[in-house]
Structure 1
Amino acid sequence: MTAADEANGVPGASMLHVIGGKIRALRKDRGLTVERLGELSGVSTGIVSQVERGKANPSFSTLVQIAHGLGISIAQLIEEDGHRAPVVRRQERRRIDGHGIAENDGGVYELLTPDLNGALEATWVETPPGYDSSETPYRHNGEEFGLILSGAKDVYLDGVRHHLEAGDSIRYASTIPHWYVNSGDETCVAVWVITPPTW
């Protein structure tokens, strides 16, 4: 990569790492696998993987294709805006779908952290009366912390029930099989923090 290349808009090595990280975060935010992003963008899986890891030197047209696959403009992908703003406004929360969450399970999951590049992820969770995830227990590396803001929720850790109401909180190792039930008559609103990010 030469100075002339950078002057002509071709990303330098450090910028390629930034762009790769941004592509990876955006792909995960959208619930896409590397393979699916490759299909949507018309770029091979191998190239997408290399770009995400900052190992490739993609052409501008390849970046345009990947941006299209992510549903964003090329400007959003390559702009050097430093770090994402630390504040997430209520109306700007990103909805989380997929990634181990049962489709149409009735819950609402919104990301409270600006991205998934940090050491933790915080999620706004709303689960309606009758919500029950016992058929698909979660188990993964890391640790979780939950705080009930309103309503009530039963958190099961390896089959042991912990009943939480507004103001109650819980912390546990995510390696323990866990699931959630809302046996009350109102929607439970909670904030859940997971480290490291699982999405």
Structure 2
Amino acid sequence: MLGQRLKSLRLGRRLSLRELAELTGTSASFISQLERGLTGASTASLNQMASALGVSVAMLFEDSAAGQRGVLLRSERPSLPPSDGCRKMLLSRPPLSDMEVYVGEFEIGGSTGPALYTHGDAHEMLVVLRGIVEVSLGDVRHVLEEGDSIEYATSTAHRSENIGSGRAEVMWIIAPPTSMRAELDQYRAWKPLAAR
């Protein structure tokens, strides 16, 4: 789903693989593989692509059929292909437009990517749902266990890594969304079937 959405957005903006690669600091072959579902992308790479395309990371996950119900089953969560031992899934959907909510599942040693990254100028909270996670904010590292949380600005360079002996799961809550306001207008118009 991510690959198809990425390709659709790229073509809709009349960008070649090479042009998007230049805008994101990646290679055309990487983007081609991502569009075909042959590889995953780090959170930092996804933020760069979303920014270059003028959308939020949430918009890369968008599935218009999923927005037809108010219930999101675990098995139907929009998900990115695993990258760096982390799989990121979108929980927030229309009509939520004031925040983005994601769940991340980390394999042992999995992380959000090899480097610290930033995205937008918003407030982010990470809650550890399971396992032990190290959150780096610049040069400062924080070790968090199940039930612990941390808050920071998305403009602060950050990274998360599972340092425990088992799988880890976290929830990210970002407010306001690190996306373009115009892209969120369609979320505001969405109504669950029960409200129609």
Alpha-carbon distance in 1 for matches of 2:114, 2:152:
20
Residue 128 of structure 1: how far off its partner (Å): 1.2
1:160 correspondence with 2:144:
no
1:178 correspondence with 2:158:
yes
Cα deviations by residue, 1:75-117 (Å, 9 ceiling, x for unpaired): x97x9xxx743332222111135xxxxx731211111112597
Name the amino acid aligned to 2:83.
Answer: N
Question: What is the 5 A alignment of 1:103-182?
Answer: 104-115=83-94, 118-133=97-112, 135-141=114-120, 142-182=122-162
The 3 A distance-change label for structure 1 pair 140 and 45 is same
RMSD after superposition: 3.3
Question: Is the 1:150–1:166 contact (alpha carbons within 8 Å) kept by the matching residues of 2?
Answer: yes
5+ long unaligned stretches in structure 2: 16-62, 181-196
The two structures have a TM-score, normalised by structure 2, of: 0.55
Question: Is the 1:116–1:197 contact (alpha carbons within 8 Å) kept by the matching residues of 2?
Answer: no
The 3 A distance-change label for structure 1 pair 31 and 129 is same
Question: What is the 5 A alignment of 1:49-64?
Answer: none
Larger-Rg structure: 1
The two structures have a TM-score, normalised by structure 1, of: 0.54
Alpha-carbon distance in 2 for matches of 1:119, 1:150:
26
Name the amino acid aligned to 1:191.
Answer: M
Aligned to 1:86: 70
Alpha-carbon distance in 2 for matches of 1:136, 1:116:
33
Higher normalized contact order (CA 8 Å, seq sep 6+, divided by chain length): 2
Name the amino acid aligned to 1:109.
Answer: K
Question: Is the 2:86–2:111 contact (alpha carbons within 8 Å) kept by the matching residues of 1?
Answer: no
Task: Give the aligned length.
Answer: 130
The 3 A distance-change label for structure 1 pair 32 and 194 is farther
Name the amino acid aligned to 1:30.
Answer: R
5+ long unaligned stretches in structure 1: 1-25, 39-43, 47-75, 98-102
Alpha-carbon distance in 1 for matches of 2:2, 2:111:
28
> 96, 113, 119: which one pairs with 2:80?
96
Name the amino acid aligned to 1:137.
Answer: L
**What SS is found at the alignment partner of 1:94?**
coil
